[in-house]
Amino acid sequence: MSARSALPVIAVAAAVAVLAGCSSTKSDGQKGSGGLELVSSGTLKTCTHLPYAPFQVKKDGKVVGFDVDLVDLVAKDLGVKQEIVNTPFEGIETGQDFTIRKCDLAAAGMTITPERDKVMDFSDPYFNATQALLTKKGKPFKKVEDLKGKKLGYQKATTGGIFAKKHGKGVELVEFEDLGLLLTAVKSGQVDAGINDNGVLFDYVKQNPDTTVTAEFNTGEHYGVGVRTGNDALRKKINAAIKKAKSDGSYDRIYKKWFGTTPQS
């Protein structure tokens, strides 16, 4: 921003006014025990970015998936209904969607990273993930470096993109707005390979046998549910629901429903 005018000062003042309005107790938020406040009374709003099967995907006009079922457990404990808000992933991972009170939490197959942890708070990890490489069947690519001089697709604002940029010297990187566009690009030959989280890629090849996952990279990632920074009341509720689900078998049941197997210990 330029320092040649008073516009930055005005912008800051306006931003403070907007934030003050968002945090007002006169909003339609609902406060419960422990200081828990929801954006809309009786509703737990979840930001996500579609499609990201099997975590969140629209089927027969309804958003379903592993993350949806998991957050439904939180909503049940709170005595409210979950409402899915489909929004660009960039707004989620930068924390902007929490700042403007678009949602109460974000469940978007989102890896916990130090950068994201600066703009939101995370629940305890609920899913182990790693990066993987998707190609058409018969392609020889086993690692990013094998794609030198070729095209590698990645999804915008994801850890897969970070990995590709770090290891893709000499590789032509192609950015896509969402996972659906990335997968289509691999299948149609628009790119030679695509990188994304292993869970979604293995799910894709089940329905698209002309594609295959040729490699997994041990990035040691963990998904977390994001909440607005300082929203400890909701974060604790989410943690309690995850812990309960893992102890009473609900987590394993949901996992098997969407992945066809129980999670590895």
Tell me the pLDDT band of 265, cut-offs 50, 70 and 90.
low
- Establish how many alpha carbons lie within 13 A of residue 22's alpha carbon, considering only the half-sphere containing its beta carbon: 17
Given a contact cutoff of 8 angstroms between Cβ atoms, the answer to whether 229 and 106 are in contact is no
pLDDT band, residue 23 (cuts 50/70/90): very low
* pLDDT averaged over every residue in the chain: 89
Contact status, residue 66 vs residue 259, Cβ threshold 8 Å:
yes
Section 232-243 average pLDDT:
98
Residue 2 pLDDT: 36
Secondary structure (H, E, C), 40-54:
ECCEEEEEECCCECC
Q: How confident is the model at residue 7 (pLDDT cuts 50, 70, 90)?
A: very low
pLDDT tens figures, 119-134? 999 999 999 999 999 9
Q: Name the packing angle between helices 66-78 and 250-259 (round to 10°).
A: 150
DSSP 8-state assignment for residue 145: G
CA distance 65 to 22: 30
Phi then psi dihedrals of residue 69, to 5 deg: -65, -40
